[in-house]
Amino acid sequence: MQRHDVLVVGSGPVGIAVARRLAEQGLRVTVLESGAAVTDPPGSHLRNRPELNQNPDSYFPAIQPYLHPVTNATKQAELPGAFQSELEGGWGILWTNNCPRASEFERWDAMTSTEWEHRYVEAETMLQVVPAPAANSLTGNKVRERLHGVLAGMDRSVTDLPFSGRIQPSGEIYYNAPWDMLQAASPEVRKHITIQSGMCVKHLRRKGSRVTSVDVEDANKNVISLEAPAIFLAGGAIKTPRLLHASGITPAALGRGLSFHTLLFGQMLLDNELAAPVDVTDIDPRLWIPPTVESPWHLMLLRDTYPFAPAESIDNQHRLMEIQAFHSVDFQDENALLFDDNEDAAFHFALSQDDRDRMRLLVADVEHLAGQLGHWRRGCEPQWLPFDTAHLAGTCRMDVPGRDGVTDSFGRVHGFGNLFLTTVGLFPVPVAENPTLTAIALALRSCDHFIAGSAGSESIS
């Protein structure tokens, strides 16, 4: 194996953003990924396969084989929808690529507002985010126009939903994945990054305030030890705290105060006058109603993929549009992801009364907005997806004033000089938007902090 200056655990979008940022500074980075490549090229998006691209509703069934329960049914009874994967590219080969920023009122004081802006621009560049991917959608623009007046009266707005990928005028969609993030780097930078798949990091070894090496199990179950001058854990919101726990690093906040998005999905039939005519080529809508203090949920209006079976046939594909509503549950210490001595996970979760109240208001809001645009397709009336589908947060949170976390505001684990966490698990407060862009914004900041602190250090040659 090539000599490295930094080990990164996990090859999802956050791990690859970290690897690229550090390699751009001349560091040699080894990425250890327990999963295997299932797409070609490794780490590219599954959904770019033509059969999945052409039939959006085939997508949920297609990804099921890659989603595994976290633990047994009893231990995850309160969060039956929680799942995990081991894949080269992580969930970055399965995600649906929506990349909104957190609204200003949701951002916490890890950074100044100027730095938040700057980090978001960097993260958008890393993910090649297109701010208005469906600006030319005939249907989308009519929907936007109709909602504009309705929302203005509520001090809310409808805008474009940023997307990591490209949408062709034909409507064909290209989804970015970790592979694309690497391809956008120069050949020189790519030479500094080695990705080793089938390599599961089992344990971090420490001496004083530094991690010195890691125990890694390969695909044949052989365990080797690798030197770790510095280490960034990007294993997602479940396996990152699990690895800390397995390594005896168990600060009080570990796993406590988890949060996630309750997801409401409905598919509607737009009024005929809103939809492009059946014989016209149109890009599907991709619109966003950002959260506000009074309506703190995130609404996406798009034709993406729908998990439930419809009971109504349609005359014009352009009339189909989903409303996906995300609401972040409160961060409460009783809501936790805890591990036993065998590293088996158990979820403890209950909705607060405030969560329930907001969810009721959200449903009423979605019904009201949908009523302005058309009607629910029969069989596709809005329903909550099982808790937690895909957006777990707060399992290894960073400090915020008055609430100690597992890391400081740079993602550096307390008590360690060379151990950083880069994951959605760091979020210490509710953020209703899709989380990956924000996680990458934080991760790039961690990288820069590490590089600044390491200048001249012996560990970086």
Ligand X SMILES: Cc1cc2nc3c(=O)[nH]c(=O)nc-3n(C[C@H](O)[C@H](O)[C@H](O)COP(=O)(O)OP(=O)(O)OC[C@H]3O[C@@H](n4cnc5c(N)ncnc54)[C@H](O)[C@@H]3O)c2cc1C
Site residues, ligand X (CB under 6 A): 9-15, 32-35, 63, 86-87, 90-92, 94-98, 200-201, 234-236, 239, 243, 390, 423-424, 434-437, 439
Output 235 or 428, the one with its CB closest to ligand X.
235
Two structure tokens written together for 398: 């960073």
Least gap, CB of 156 to ligand X (angstroms): 21
Least gap, CB of 401 to ligand X (angstroms): 25
Output 106 or 374, the one with its CB closest to ligand X.
106
Least gap, CB of 422 to ligand X (angstroms): 7
The residues that bridge with 23 in the sheet, in sequence order, are none
Output 37 or 253, the one with its CB closest to ligand X.
37
Least gap, CB of 276 to ligand X (angstroms): 24
Least gap, CB of 280 to ligand X (angstroms): 27
Least gap, CB of 411 to ligand X (angstroms): 12
Contact yes or no for 58/52 (Cβ under 8 A): yes
Least gap, CB of 32 to ligand X (angstroms): 5
Output 123 or 269, the one with its CB closest to ligand X.
123
DSSP state of 334: T
Output 275 or 388, the one with its CB closest to ligand X.
388
- CA 298 and chain centroid, separation: 14
Give just the sign of the alpha carbon dihedral 101, 105, 109, 114: positive
Any residues with CB less than 8 A from the CB of 273 and at least 6 apart, and which? 142
Cα separation, 145 vs 391, whole angstroms: 31
Output 57 or 367, the one with its CB closest to ligand X.
57
Any residues with CB less than 8 A from the CB of 439 and at least 6 apart, and which? 14, 422, 423, 424, 426, 427
The DSSP code sequence of 207-272 is: ETTEEEEEEEE-TTS-EEEEE-SSEEE-SHHHHHHHHHHHTT---TTTTBT-B-EEEEEEEEEE-G
Output 236 or 382, the one with its CB closest to ligand X.
236
Output 362 or 426, the one with its CB closest to ligand X.
426
Q: Which residue has the tokens 């633990």?
A: 71
Least gap, CB of 377 to ligand X (angstroms): 21
By the 10 Å C-beta count (0-12 exposed, 13-18 middle, 19+ buried), 412 is classed as buried
Q: Can you give the C-alpha Rg of the chain in angstroms?
A: 22
DSSP SS3 for 397: coil
CB atoms under 10 Å from CB of 207, counted, come to: 8
Output 8 or 370, the one with its CB closest to ligand X.
8
DSSP state of 42: T
Contact yes or no for 268/318 (Cβ under 8 A): no
Output 10 or 374, the one with its CB closest to ligand X.
10
Cα separation, 444 vs 450, whole angstroms: 10
Q: At what angle do helices 13-24 and 113-127 cross, to 10 degrees?
A: 100
Least gap, CB of 341 to ligand X (angstroms): 17
Least gap, CB of 72 to ligand X (angstroms): 20
